[in-house]
């Protein structure tokens, strides 16, 4: 498809001209842009005509009447409108083609969304996973193959249309024949006398997990109503007809429970059900029988009460006699025990004195020996202390004598060494008098860096002023100066 572009312009001669340009074809899904329509401006013709009069020689001058000019303008305007209409139609066609393609894509998208939504709704309404609670077991049946699989508690895969899951509880379940719990109920029990009575029975049972996989296909959905209830009803009615109301009410309750349990257990076991126990609760008697039973029980209770009252009084009399006899025997035994106690105490005291006197004598002797031993110990201690003091005094005197001798010898030796040293120093100084100056300089070297002093006039020691001879030197210097001044 090609798009034509038309532009209306004014030639150099003042007449509108149409330029037609061909462009490359646009894509199918592209919309052709609207093209502007260029119309001649008012006054353009006059200016163009004026220019034509003064045109160059190589330009052709064209003159026409006003009707021709108007027709040419209308023609150019019609061509511009036609071009605009063609462009608009092309744009509308491209837009419609794009909308058609978008509609096809939207239809495919809507179909995919519908499929996804349907699948999601199917998964939500019929999820492929089931959850078994603790204490439950499931039997998953395959509808195609007919096989069954036992699954435990937890998450189980159940594909809709392929699998069917049946849940069974492994917990103990209870069945109570409510219709037979009252004597005036819907289905009361019959005793051997033909009287109606109600008994509150509780049958506790559970499914046998070991046989569940084998019998799952035969088990109904309502095990309680379709298996347990018919079997229990068939056994308990027959059992109660063998006993009287009195036996059922009072003495034979345990035997009846055991009989029902023994007869019901194998029947339920045949269907994969384990009987846990049978409990027999309240017995609802007929009103007339209850009244007669109450009267009879009241009379029996009164008779039993009188019997027990007489027995109680007889026992109380006998108890009083026995208490008096016991009190008498108790007093006799107490007196006898007191006499025997005194005798035993006297004998024990006599026997104790036999042992106490020698013990006291031994204690006295022991104390004498202890005093003598303490005396000897003190004497020995005093003698030892005196001897130790004498030894210490002797040792102290010897020690001080030795120390005095050592000190005297030390002083004597030091004196000899000092005298010898002074003798040597005197001889050395006599030979070398300048050693005194050197010694003084060595001693003052750490305190004085440089000593500048004039040599003595008398040829004496340079440091005599520092050693105490300063006054003599000064007086000598003064005298020398005075003598010089006198001579002058």
Among 242, 269, 285, which residue terminates a domain?
285
180 with 244, same domain?
A: yes
| Segment of 14-23, 64-73, 426-435 carrying the highest mean pLDDT | 426-435
116 with 8, same domain?
A: yes
User: Which letter does DSSP use for residue 181 in this model?
Assistant: S
How high is the pLDDT of residue 357? Answer: 80
Among 266, 285, 304, which residue terminates a domain?
285
Which residue range(s) make up the domain with 74? 4-55+66-122
pLDDT band at 482, cuts 50/70/90? low
pLDDT band at 38, cuts 50/70/90? very low
Compute the chain's Rg from CA coordinates.
75
Q: What is the mean pLDDT of residues 226-246?
A: 86
Q: What is the mean pLDDT of residues 42-46?
A: 41
**Residue 294 or residue 470, greater confidence:** 294
264 occurs within a structural domain: yes
Q: Specify the residue for token string 């003042």.
A: 14
Q: What is the mean pLDDT of residues 203-223?
A: 81
199 occurs within a structural domain: yes
Among 235, 264, 285, which residue terminates a domain?
285
Whole-angstrom Cα distance, residue 91 to residue 216? Answer: 73
pTM of the model: 0.38
Whole-angstrom Cα distance, residue 325 to residue 317? Answer: 13
186 occurs within a structural domain: yes
Helix 287-431 crosses helix 435-444 at what angle (to 10 degrees)?
160
Ordered DSSP codes for 61-78:
P----HHHHHHHHHHHHH
Give the three-state DSSP class for 389. helix
Q: What is the mean pLDDT of residues 165-182?
A: 82
Q: Report the CATH number that the domain containing residue 210 is assigned in CATH.
A: 3.30.479.30
pLDDT digits (tens, 9 = 90+) for 242-291: 888 878 888 888 888 899 899 998 988 888 888 888 888 888 887 777 77
Give the three-state DSSP class for 4. strand
319 occurs within a structural domain: no
Enclosing H/E stretch for 205: strand 196-207
101 with 183, same domain?
A: no
280 with 186, same domain?
A: yes
Q: Into how many domains does the chain fold? A: 3
C-alpha closest to that of 268 among 296, 240, 226, 298 = 226
How high is the pLDDT of residue 126? Answer: 64
């Amino acid at each position: 498809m090609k798009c034509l572009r038309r532009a209306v312009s004014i030639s150099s001669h003042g007449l509108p001209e149409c330029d037609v340009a061909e462009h490359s074809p646009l894509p199918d899904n592209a919309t052709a842009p609207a093209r502007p329509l260029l119309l001649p401006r008012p006054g353009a013709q006059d200016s163009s005509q004026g220019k034509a009069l003064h045109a160059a020689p190589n330009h052709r001058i064209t003159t026409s009447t006003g009707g021709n000019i108007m027709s040419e303008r209308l023609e150019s305007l019609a061509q511009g409108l036609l071009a605009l209409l063609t462009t608009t139609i092309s744009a509308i066609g491209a837009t419609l083609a794009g909308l058609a393609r978008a509609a096809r894509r939207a239809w495919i998208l809507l179909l995919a969304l519908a499929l996804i939504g349907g699948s999601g709704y199917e998964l939500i309404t019929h999820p492929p996973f089931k959850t078994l609670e603790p204490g439950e077991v499931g039997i998953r049946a395959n509808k195609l193959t007919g096989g069954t699989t036992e699954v435990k508690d937890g998450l189980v895969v159940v594909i809709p249309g392929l699998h069917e899951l049946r849940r069974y509880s492994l917990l103990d379940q209870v069945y109570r024949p409510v219709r037979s719990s009252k004597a005036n109920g819907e289905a009361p029990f019959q005793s051997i006398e033909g009287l109606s009575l109600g008994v509150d029975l509780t049958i506790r049972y559970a499914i046998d997990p070991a046989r569940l996989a084998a019998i799952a296909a035969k088990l109904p959905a309502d095990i309680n109503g379709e298996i347990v209830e018919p079997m229990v009803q068939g056994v308990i009615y027959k059992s109660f007809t063998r006993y009287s109301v009195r036996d059922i009410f009072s003495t034979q309750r345990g035997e009846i429970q055991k009989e029902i349990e023994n007869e019901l257990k194998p029947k339920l076991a045949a269907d994969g059900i384990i009987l846990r126990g049978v409990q027999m609760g309240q017995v609802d008697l007929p009103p007339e029988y209850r009244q007669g039973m109450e009267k009879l029980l009241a009379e029996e209770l009164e008779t039993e009460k009188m019997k027990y009252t007489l027995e109680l009084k007889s026992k109380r009399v006998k108890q009083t006699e026995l208490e008096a006899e016991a009190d008498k025997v108790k007093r006799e035994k107490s007196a006898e025990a007191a006499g025997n106690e005194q005798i035993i105490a006297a004998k024990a005291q006599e026997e104790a004195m036999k042992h106490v006197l020698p013990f006291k004598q031994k204690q006295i002797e022991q104390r004498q020996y202890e005093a003598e031993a303490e005396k000897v110990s003190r004497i020995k201690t005093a003698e030892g202390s005196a001897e130790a003091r004498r030894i210490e005094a002797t040792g102290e005197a010897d020690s001080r004598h030795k120390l005095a001798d050592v000190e005297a010898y030390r002083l004597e030796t030091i004196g000899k060494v000092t005298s010898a040293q002074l003798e040597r120093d005197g001889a050395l100084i006599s030979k070398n008098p300048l050693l005194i100056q050197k010694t003084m300089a060595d001693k003052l070297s750490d305190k004085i860096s440089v000593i500048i002093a004039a040599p003595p006039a008398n040829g004496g020691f340079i440091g005599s002023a520092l050693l105490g001879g300063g006054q003599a030197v000064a007086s000598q210097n003064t005298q020398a100066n005075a003598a010089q001044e006198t001579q002058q």
